[in-house]
Structure 1
Amino acid sequence: MAVADQNILIIGSGFAAAVTVIHLVQAGIKPATITIVGPGALGAGNAYGCDDKDFRLNVRAALMWIWPEKRDDFGLWAKANITDDPEAVQNSGNFYRRRDFARYVKSCLDTVLADAGAPHNGITHHQQIVTGLGTADSGGWQASLDDGRLITADHVILATGNPTPQWPCRVNHAVMASPATAKLLVQNPWDGRWLDHVTSGSRIAIIGSGLTALDAITALARRNHQAQIYLLAPHGNLPPVQADWVKQGPPIWPKPPRPSKILRRFRSYLPDLPPEDSRWQAAFEELRIDINQQWAALNDDDRRRLMRRLGWLWSRYRYRAAPQTIAAATRLQQSGILDICHARLTAINPGDDTPLRLDLTGAAGEGRCLDVDYVINCTGAGQDPFLASLVTAGIGVADAFGKGLRVTADNQIIRPDGSASKNLLMIGPQMASSLGDVVAASEVSLAAIRVAGNFAEQLVGRGKRHDGGIDA
């Protein structure tokens, strides 16, 4: 069954989708010509869709902006609308709950739609999942939904966000085959619903040591968890805490960009201070200012070479933690409840005295086993099967790391023949391998502004000002 044609189809329903709608409408695109396909409330997604009060933003409010000319908008909204979160205010800034940022995004979306004379339901939003995409007879696109419906559109914007984490180890078939043990494996920790089923006496293994792991630890600490929590981290470290940094201007980069030159610039520019020092973080943030230009000048081999040398430092210090989460982890570690294991998980098997037994390897885990009641996968984003299907179908090309699709600087998907698709675009973290450091909310907003402006010009040029997507 075909749904009525729409000018613009956005695949995804998280922050990238919502901010794209905001800027499309403000660029003059009529809300009625926009269709969203994706589950959940528009604007929440995996990043901000958790209702738990201990899942926090890891950056201060001043950096969470939708409009570059209104960088303090979220902070002002938070002061006026958040009255039950005194812990948000920290010495290094205000770190609000993820769910409250989702509320802010919704309020911005509602305001923009109201200003355009359209209610929130002026946009068609299907709660299904897109399972396939192909060309339509009209020359546009046809998307297949998981309920069997089809949607055709002139233009498609991929805003799929971060996919569910994959298990980084072998999972015994017997564990997955039994409903009793399969439910003890939490593959997607971002929604926080698993916390309702964990008792204070449950022995828990958390895989990964990044921001999601810290959110999980903070939520367990709030619930006065009493049993052992094992944090399985190959490097045995938690992220450093956000400092009260103030960045200055960007550094001068060597030309032409080469992996070795970029690496030397990092080493020479970062001061000989502890990474927790605000001056060290300020220098790191200054290096980020023009890092995308350096990245764009590298070929695929050089990008892979650079990440082999610099990737560990980038991952560790680019994604710092909110002070509240580090404080919670420190308390649990000092009490002996949290055990940070310098080890890697290799297998999940049925247990004898407990439901699950974990096989470990690594510096502190060679030949070691852990008996636990739950395993929480906090390893980060996995592979997106939908994007992979576009590569298989010859619609796009995998990026240098096989995590997303190649895109141009204007967010257009690159076809296998090297040409750019003007009516198939992408916004969100899946562009990182192509464009660099573009995962922050502010960078996603800038991409949405760029795409919205290009769409407005393109549709006006096609004469759709009055009968299609552009307001007169």
Structure 2
Amino acid sequence: MTHHIVIAGGGASGAIMAANLFRLGNGALRVTLVEASGEVGKGPAYSTTNPSHLFNVRSAQLSAFSGTPDHFDRWLAIHHPEFTRNGPFVPRGVYREYLEAALRETAPVGKLRILPQACVGMRELEHGVEVTLADGSSLPAHFAIVATGFGVQDKSEGLLSNPWTALPPENSEARVLIVGTGLTMVDTVLSLLDNGHRGKIVAVSRRGLLPQRHALHRPLQLSTADIPLGASVHYLSRWLTDLVRAHVNNGGDWRDVMDGMRPHIQTVWRYLPTESRARFLRHAAAFWDVHRHRMPPAQAERISAVLESGQLEIVKGRFLSAERRGDRLFAEILRPGWDEPGPFKADVIYDCRGVRRRADQDMPGFAGALVQSGAARLEKLGLGLEFDRSCALINGQGEPSSRIFGIGPVTLGTFWESIAVPDIREQARQIAERIASGGRLAARGSVARLP
């Protein structure tokens, strides 16, 4: 029997999911990728054509298949050998081309359909799933996968420019404000510089922290037994700080410890009580992010230069809102030690806060529709929809689905580490194995790989 799988979302997560389904499905699957743009593998991060926008992950970690870790490197050597000569950090724009190639390689003829629509609803039936499309039609499937990403709008959204889609300022002397100081801010600054921008650029975030720089290192070998699972965030932070200090004193690099922790982060997150997770988000997430999500050396050098020149300034403060007054924008920024927020004048404001803004029950879009219909519920901190350990969607009554799964950023609240390619491909492998087995739970050993 051929099973029909619907994937809601055709970005990187959806494309990796489809490729893994075909690879593990032994020809017994057909897949419909529902993507409003009609384009596969693009998404915000990989739509860029700017060669300055580099992966912050080495190419050896970018395979779409966990069982074939060199798949991307081999493809890159054949199709873009020019990038292999420039070190392990390659332009992100090539990844869409790679994902399209991975789908061509794995999808049997006639088994993949790209549907240029948007999903607006999804409900589980006794023997399948009904997916509702924006035109009012329904799409029946045996299984469905939510791969639409996760984002939250605010009241100022209409005044904040999307860094991936907005045109650069016509005036090269324009005053630019960037909300967020992470890797998206780095890309936005480099785009402005590549376009000849000469005006002042100010980036603001609560902590005012920049991503650290990648460097050669060797991940520290850690086992789960080495980590104080279930401890408070305070104790975990102290333990990690002491481990880094001891390792550096012995001639190591702090990056060794951070990457040694990498395979265990989902387990650590799972053992943290909700209040400890909330405390981590309030006090430690920014520090974790700048050490975990690092800048490639080429980007770090350019950002250091523009900081030194004074064209770029990093400001510690909390963005509250924005409004238009005449032909200028004014952002309300609350700086440390201030009783009242102060206005910041800008010609353009870019929203580079990423995906970790918290949602509530009334959020719009497909994820909101799932919550409002009872097909899903938000995880307790509102970082995404809630899933079980095997990526099955949890409904409004707290029951895991046997036919609807999630992959990528929409699972952030459940897994924390779910937005990088190594995490996404592992989720894809696990879901594909379960679907290939008819929806039954994977073997215990397979589940253990993705806590």
Where on the TM-score scale, by shorter chain, does this alignment land: which range? Answer: 0.7 to 0.9
Distance 2:51 2:36 in 1: 21
TM-score (norm 2): 0.86
Q: Secondary structure at the match of 1:156?
A: strand
Distance 1:337 1:269 in 2: 37
Look up the match of 1:432.
412
1:345 to 313, 319, 327: 319
TM-aligned CA deviation for residue 459 of structure 1? 6.4
The answer as to 2:121 corresponding to 1:127 is no
Distance 2:298 2:228 in 1: 41
Gaps of 5+ in 1: 177-181, 462-472
The answer as to 2:219 corresponding to 1:247 is yes
Distance 1:344 1:24 in 2: 43
Look up the match of 1:310.
284
Distance 2:321 2:400 in 1: 42
Look up the match of 1:105.
99
TM-aligned CA deviation for residue 452 of structure 1? 0.8
Q: Secondary structure at the match of 2:220?
A: coil
Distance 1:201 1:78 in 2: 38
Amino acid aligned to 2:80: I
1:28 to 25, 29, 42: 25
Distance 2:435 2:184 in 1: 35
Contact residue 5 and residue 29 of structure 2 kept, 8 A: no
Look up the match of 2:447.
none
Look up the match of 1:358.
331
Question: 1:13-412 counterparts in 2 under 5 A?
Answer: 13-28=10-25, 30=27, 33-40=30-37, 41-82=39-80, 89-90=86-87, 94-113=88-107, 116=108, 118=109, 122-135=111-124, 139-163=127-151, 166-167=153-154, 171=156, 185-186=160-161, 188-190=162-164, 193-196=165-168, 198-251=170-223, 252-254=225-227, 257-259=230-232, 260-271=234-245, 279-352=253-326, 354-363=327-336, 368-381=342-355, 382=357, 383=359, 385=364, 386-412=366-392
Contact residue 211 and residue 321 of structure 1 kept, 8 A: yes
Look up the match of 1:179.
none
Distance 2:207 2:128 in 1: 48
TM-aligned CA deviation for residue 30 of structure 1? 4.1
Distance 1:367 1:290 in 2: 40
- Could you list the per-position Cα deviations for residues 82-105 of structure 1 after superposition, in whole angstroms to 9, with x for gaps in the alignment? 25658x825xxx211111111111
Amino acid aligned to 1:295: W
Amino acid aligned to 1:438: S
Distance 2:252 2:43 in 1: 32
TM-aligned CA deviation for residue 141 of structure 1? 2.4
TM-score (norm 1): 0.82
Distance 1:414 1:451 in 2: 15
Identical pairs, percent = 23
Amino acid aligned to 2:214: Q
Equivalent pairs counted in the alignment come to: 429
CA separation of 1:273/1:32 partners in 2, compared to 1, >3 Å: closer, same or farther? closer
Look up the match of 2:448.
none
Higher mean displacement: 31-40 or 311-320: 31-40
- Could you list the per-position Cα deviations for residues 415-442 of structure 1 after superposition, in whole angstroms to 9, with x for gaps in the alignment? 3333321101111122222123232201
CA separation of 1:331/1:42 partners in 2, compared to 1, >3 Å: closer, same or farther? same
Q: Secondary structure at the match of 2:284?
A: helix
CA separation of 1:80/1:367 partners in 2, compared to 1, >3 Å: closer, same or farther? same
CA separation of 1:14/1:149 partners in 2, compared to 1, >3 Å: closer, same or farther? same
Q: Secondary structure at the match of 1:271?
A: helix
CA separation of 1:102/1:388 partners in 2, compared to 1, >3 Å: closer, same or farther? same
Q: Secondary structure at the match of 1:392?
A: helix
CA separation of 1:262/1:336 partners in 2, compared to 1, >3 Å: closer, same or farther? closer
Contact residue 32 and residue 123 of structure 1 kept, 8 A: no
TM-aligned CA deviation for residue 60 of structure 1? 1.3
Distance 2:309 2:276 in 1: 45
TM-aligned CA deviation for residue 57 of structure 1? 1.0
Higher mean displacement: 363-372 or 291-300: 363-372
- Could you list the per-position Cα deviations for residues 267-308 of structure 1 after superposition, in whole angstroms to 9, with x for gaps in the alignment? 221126889x97101111112222322322333334334444
Q: Secondary structure at the match of 1:194?
A: coil
Gaps of 5+ in 2: 442-451
TM-aligned CA deviation for residue 32 of structure 1? 6.8
Amino acid aligned to 2:6: L
Distance 1:65 1:220 in 2: 30
The answer as to 2:421 corresponding to 1:441 is yes
TM-aligned CA deviation for residue 217 of structure 1? 0.5
CA separation of 1:429/1:201 partners in 2, compared to 1, >3 Å: closer, same or farther? same
Contact residue 403 and residue 439 of structure 2 kept, 8 A: no
Look up the match of 1:467.
none
TM-aligned CA deviation for residue 309 of structure 1? 4.5
Distance 1:278 1:199 in 2: 47
Distance 2:248 2:94 in 1: 33
CA separation of 1:85/1:364 partners in 2, compared to 1, >3 Å: closer, same or farther? farther
Amino acid aligned to 1:149: S
- Could you list the per-position Cα deviations for residues 137-170 of structure 1 after superposition, in whole angstroms to 9, with x for gaps in the alignment? x74322222233221222111111243x634xx6
Q: Secondary structure at the match of 2:142?
A: strand
- Could you list the per-position Cα deviations for residues 435-466 of structure 1 after superposition, in whole angstroms to 9, with x for gaps in the alignment? 232322011111111111111111699xxxxx
TM-aligned CA deviation for residue 375 of structure 1? 0.9
Amino acid aligned to 2:397: D
CA separation of 1:288/1:36 partners in 2, compared to 1, >3 Å: closer, same or farther? same
CA separation of 1:416/1:131 partners in 2, compared to 1, >3 Å: closer, same or farther? closer
